[in-house]
Amino acid sequence: MTMSRKTRQTLGFGIVLGFVILILVMFAQAEQHGSWVWLFLLGAILACIGLSVKYPLFRSVMTDSLDAVRYWWDTWGSAQKKERRAIPREIQRQVLDRAASRCECRSPRRCTSTRRNDFHHIDVNPSNNVISNIIYLCPNHHRDAHRNEISQEVQNRWAGMRSRRTRS
């Protein structure tokens, strides 16, 4: 059985939400019934670990859900704390030269989109306008990057590459 990454994230997010609700119920019940009710939470955690070991699909659901929760937390936290600064013209020019004015996505094959592309901050910090932190992406790949469907490691690799035009 195969599931899309989005389906695994949604299912896993439900499991994580279930754990949060379970923890809140444990707080409410611990006062009335004693601290032994925390054994239910321990049992649920051990069951998830056991299922993750035995079933690779369950492991991928849990991994994707934790990635989705981490991304949501990072994005929400960064939106609260970081101010956006305009990318200086010189930095924009250097990134465009590196990208040859095309989308810098190189997987599985090089995207050739030249219309409506955006500058993307790899570390999702809109005030970090360093050349190595900015890549030029088409709207589809920009969305994928924000959804963590393109890892930051891969994006950093793209930012380090030079197009054939600028090498010669």
pTM for this one? Answer: 0.51
How much of the chain exceeds pLDDT 70, in percent?
88
- Between 91 and 25, the more confident residue is 91
**pLDDT, tens only, 37-71:** 778 888 888 888 888 888 888 888 877 777 777 77
Q: SS3 sequence, the chain?
A: CCCCHHHHHHHHHHHHHHHHHHHHHHHHHHHHHCHHHHHHHHHHHHHHHHHHHHCHHHHHHHHHHHHHHHHHHHHHHHHHHCCCCCCCHHHHHHHHHHHCCCCCCCCCCCCCCCCCCEEEECCCCCCCCCHHHEEEECHHHHHHHHCCCCCHHHHHHHHHCCCHHHHC
**Domain residue spans in the chain?**
5-81, 89-167
pLDDT, tens only, 111-146: 877 788 889 999 888 888 999 999 999 988 998 888
